[in-house]
Amino acid sequence: MNWWFLALWTTLVKGWVVNEGTTCTLYPESLIYKGQAVDDAPSIQQAFDLCGTNGTVIFSENLFHVNSVLNTTNLLNVDVHLRGELRFSSNIPYWRTHAISVILQDQVTAWLFGGTNVTFHGEGGFYNGNGQEWYNANRNQSNQPGRPISFTVYDSTNLLVDNLRVIGPQFWATFVWDSKNVSFTNLFVNATSDSEWGTMNCDGYDSWKSDDLLVENATIITGDDCIAAKGNTTNLLAKNIYCEGGTGVTIGSIGQYAETPDYNMNITFQNVTVKNAMDGAYVKTWQGSRTWVPSNGDYGGGGSGLVKNVTFKDFELINVGLPIQLSQCVYSDNSDKGCNTSKLAVEDVKWQNIHGTSRFNIAASVYCSDVHPCPGIEFENINITSVNASLGLPYYDTDVDHLIWQCTNLLDQKHTGIPCNQAAPSNFSQWIYSNVDHTGLARSSA
């Protein structure tokens, strides 16, 4: 018996990992168990234990069943190659009770991944979250407890994820938390539901408490935020991004927790296409006091902090409900939403070269809190036309016959670079389902 067979034999006893020196190659249990969906998580865990320092982990070109949580953290100098399919089980009761906490909003994750000097290469393989089961179970609710984030990068430094494909994410597809210098390149996410229920909360990429981030070349098809820079995201560059469906790219939501201020600085979104979405390029903060919000399933508001030096540039928007937005009461469900009370300061936000079409008769709604009117809000080279106007049709169901640009509490408003032809009301909605009338409001449900 040569050493290779010996290694294979000994590792087979514990799971199917072929360990040659510092390289661990994974094969699925289903190859032994006649195609049954036997859980591969233990052998995956074992491969990272054996080869997670100065090593290489290869998922061979096979179907892997992941029926239990993965915690592959504290890696050091590791290269991961994903050549097969990782099919996460749709055992919803299991994930609801076992997924790993990520603290933020009491959310959880199915896979916690991270370390120092780590690369993850999708080489023809992909992550299959079995999302349809989750979309059906979720029934269009928001932030349903225990619905796991697909892939979370945690406590990491110098980490690259290239060519990751996430098909049918359970919830947010990717999340970067407590990390520094993390890049996602050539990311593909497709959350598409084939039932009557939507893909609410299937964000493409979210970041929290992380610095020095890159997202380059991403295609994200989703029912919620394409990219969301949550609290304490600094120095994020997101470029060459295609977003379809959902709610565009955003700073936020932030200001949810009074105990922890959020500082979001030096963020650039560049060369972004947003198609058939509710929002385009926007900033969303919570209002100034804490309230229970049924639609978000959470308490929130009262947080302070600062959004500073954010640039949205070179955007093409195609049929977007609210192309440009700054809201300081984004989840408040009250009729008086309290946008005027937010404690979160917003400064130096620029929208440059923003072109395209809006679904309704509104191009922008920019509302800064009465507590902190915003300095340095600038618009340059903005050309948005309503879909109707671009088709030569009149505005409908409304008493306003021109494109609306709402502004409230912008310092030096005359020089912002947009017409500011209507005041933004303090109870504007993140979601609108009709044209805006002279009150500045639209229907906020379908």
Ligand X SMILES: *[C@@H]1O[C@H](CO)[C@@H](O)[C@H](O)[C@H]1NC(C)=O
- Token pair for 4: 């290779």
Beta bridge partners of 189: 166, 220
In angstroms, the CA 425 to CA 185 distance is 39
Q: Is 140 in the site for ligand X (CB under 6 A)?
A: yes
In angstroms, the CA 173 to CA 71 distance is 16
- Token pair for 284: 């969303």
| Residue least distant from ligand X (Cβ) | 198
In angstroms, the CA 190 to CA 110 distance is 17
Binding range to ligand X, per CB under 6 A, among 143-151, 265-273, 326-334, 421-429: 265-273
Identity of the residue, 28 or 168, whose beta carbon is nearer to ligand X in the bound complex: 168
In angstroms, the CA 202 to CA 215 distance is 17
In whole angstroms, the minimum distance from the beta carbon of 118 to ligand X comes to 8
5: number of Cβ within 10 Å = 9
Residues in contact with ligand X, total (CB under 6 A)?
A: 47
In angstroms, the CA 197 to CA 361 distance is 28
Q: Do residues 94 and 134 touch, judged by C-beta distance below 8 A?
A: no
In angstroms, the CA 360 to CA 309 distance is 29
Binding mask 43-62 for ligand X (x = CB under 6 A): ----------xx--------
In whole angstroms, the minimum distance from the beta carbon of 219 to ligand X comes to 7
Binding mask 106-125 for ligand X (x = CB under 6 A): ----------xx--------
Q: Is 319 in the site for ligand X (CB under 6 A)?
A: no
In angstroms, the CA 123 to CA 83 distance is 5
The residue behind tokens 């070179």 is 314
Alpha-helix runs per DSSP H in 62-160: 92-98, 131-138
Residue whose C-alpha is closest to residue 204's, from 250, 162, 237, 159: 250
Three-state secondary structure call for residue 145: coil
In whole angstroms, the minimum distance from the beta carbon of 260 to ligand X comes to 4
Among 78, 164, 265, 377, binds ligand X (CB under 6 A): 265
Query: Which residues within the stretch 7-26 sit at the binding site for ligand X (CB under 6 A)?
Result: none
Binding mask 78-107 for ligand X (x = CB under 6 A): ----------------------x-------
Q: Is 445 in the site for ligand X (CB under 6 A)?
A: no
Binding range to ligand X, per CB under 6 A, among 25-33, 255-263, 289-297, 404-412: 255-263
Q: Is 262 in the site for ligand X (CB under 6 A)?
A: yes
* Exposure string for 172-197, b = 16+ CB within 10 A, e = fewer: bbbbbbbbbbbbbebbbbbbbbeeeb
Binding range to ligand X, per CB under 6 A, among 87-95, 321-329, 383-391, 405-413: 383-391
Q: Is 246 in the site for ligand X (CB under 6 A)?
A: no
Among 197, 378, 388, 389, binds ligand X (CB under 6 A): 197
Among 185, 289, 319, 353, binds ligand X (CB under 6 A): 185
Q: Is 266 in the site for ligand X (CB under 6 A)?
A: yes
Residue whose C-alpha is closest to residue 277's, from 242, 312, 303, 301: 242
Instruction: Clarify whether 401 is annotated catalytic.
Output: no
Identity of the residue, 330 or 424, whose beta carbon is nearer to ligand X in the bound complex: 330
165-167 and 126-128 as β-strands: parallel, antiparallel, unpaired? parallel
Q: Do residues 313 and 280 touch, judged by C-beta distance below 8 A?
A: no
Q: Do residues 170 and 148 touch, judged by C-beta distance below 8 A?
A: yes
In whole angstroms, the minimum distance from the beta carbon of 31 to ligand X comes to 27
Q: Is 136 in the site for ligand X (CB under 6 A)?
A: no
Q: Which of 40, 206, 211, 224 is catalytic?
A: 224
Among 216, 370, 378, 437, binds ligand X (CB under 6 A): 216
Among 19, 79, 263, 370, binds ligand X (CB under 6 A): 263
Furthest CA-CA distance within the chain: 85
Identity of the residue, 94 or 242, whose beta carbon is nearer to ligand X in the bound complex: 242
Point out which residues bind ligand X (CB under 6 A): 53-54, 71, 73-74, 76-77, 100, 116-117, 140, 158, 160, 181, 183, 185-186, 190, 192, 196-198, 209, 216-217, 221, 223, 231-232, 234-235, 240, 242, 260-263, 265-268, 271, 273, 309, 383, 385, 390
Query: Which positions are annotated as active-site residues?
Result: 224
